Amino acid sequence: MRDSRRLAGVAAYRLPISCRAVTLTDVEHFAEFTGDTFYAHMDEEAARANPFFDGRVAHGYLVLSFAAGLFVQPDPGPVLANYGIENLRFLTPVYPGDELTVTLTCKQITPREDAGHGEVRWDTDVTNQHGASVAKYDVLTMVAKQWPPA
């Protein structure tokens, strides 16, 4: 959905972002770090026995974390905060060796009349190296109406 209202120059409606490879080390580190040692992430044989997987898979939340790492800018800027994710679906398993790419599309811009910021909703599509969507969701952000602040 194209919205003509603007917040701090949010004019790019579709932003393809560079890619990141997922490794088995990434999966094992995430499992150790978070405590999520579900068998499909840790046991090749058990994962293959599951009708949904061809072997060990990356955690869905690892995929989301890597996606955020691809599109979040570290410098202070017009994006003030990420305040949520809606409509999250994991669509295709991610295996060690897969490469992830993120495309953000601005869906909605809602200025707040009583504040120096507004809400921007981004359609987020995480795809693998074959172009298959692995995760889709809306990222909700708070964006300054003016940057830098006056």
DSSP states of 19-59? EEE--HHHHHHHHHHH----HHHH-HHHHHHSTT-SS----
Instruction: Give pLDDT tens digits for 5-44.
Output: 455 555 445 565 779 999 999 999 999 999 999 999 999 9
User: Tell me, what's the pLDDT at 101?
Assistant: 95
Interior/surface letters 114-132, b for 16+ CB within 10 angstroms, e for the rest: eeebbbbbbbbbbbbeeee
Q: Does residue 46 fall inside a structural domain?
A: yes
Is position 127 within any domain?
yes
Q: Is residue 8 part of a domain?
A: no
CB of 115 within 8 A of CB of 143? no
State which residues form the domain around 72.
14-144
Q: What six digits make up the tokens of 29?
A: 């580190």
Establish if 47 belongs to a structural domain: yes
Entry field: residues in the chain: 150
Predicted confidence at residue 75, as pLDDT, reads 87
Residue 68 in domain: yes
pLDDT number for residue 16: 59
pLDDT of residue 25: 98
**What is the share, in percent, of the chain residues with pLDDT greater than 70?**
89
Phi, psi (deg, nearest 5) at residue 74: -75, -25
pTM of the model: 0.88
Whether residue 3 is predicted with pLDDT greater than 80 in this model: the reply is no
The CATH number linked to 56 is 3.10.129.10
Neighbouring C-beta atoms of residue 64, cutoff 10 Å = 18
When pLDDT is averaged across residues 113-132 and rounded to a whole number, the result is 94
User: Domain total for the chain?
Assistant: 1
Beta-sheet strand order (sheet of 117-127): 14-21, 99-111, 117-127, 133-144, 79-90
Question: Is 5 part of any domain?
Answer: no
Is 150 a member of any domain? no
Tell me if 36 is assigned to some domain.
yes
